[in-house]
């Protein structure tokens, strides 16, 4: 009977640390998912901003901008070049450029 009580006491002593560990694991997993979701949202938002600025340039000037630097200089677009790489392919001045935003590997 004494062994059973000792075993139950030891089990109770392990239960609290295990529960705390489980709660911490769930918390950090949730924080990681939120961070990844925010990064994806920021990336999509930047791509959308570049497309809208290119369309605004076409509406105002009659041609699409030649590069991202033009959008930064004349349309107030800001790209965080440390975190993102922008692939901006121009086919003709009257066709919407192909714009792709990728996260940089330097994070």
Task: Please name the residue ranges forming H helices in the chain.
Answer: 2-61, 68-75
Whole-number pLDDT of residue 27: 86
Whole-number pLDDT of residue 10: 73
Is the model's pLDDT at 6 over the cut of 90? no
- Average pLDDT of the segment spanning 65-90: 94
- Domain limits for position 8: 2-103
Cβ neighbors of 47 (< 8 A, separation 6 or more) are: 99, 100, 101
Whole-number pLDDT of residue 71: 96
Whole-number pLDDT of residue 78: 94
Number of domains, the chain: 1
């Amino acid at each position: 009977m004494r062994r059973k009580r000792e075993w139950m006491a030891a089990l109770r002593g392990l239960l609290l640390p295990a529960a705390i560990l489980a709660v911490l694991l769930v918390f950090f997993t949730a924080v990681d998912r939120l961070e990844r979701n925010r990064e994806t949202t920021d990336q999509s938002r930047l791509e959308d901003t570049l497309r809208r600025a290119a369309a605004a340039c076409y509406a105002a000037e009659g041609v699409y901008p030649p590069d991202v630097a033009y959008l930064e200089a004349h349309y107030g677009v800001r790209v965080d070049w440390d975190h993102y790489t922008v692939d901006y392919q121009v086919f003709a001045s009257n066709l919407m450029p192909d714009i792709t935003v990728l996260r940089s590997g330097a994070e």
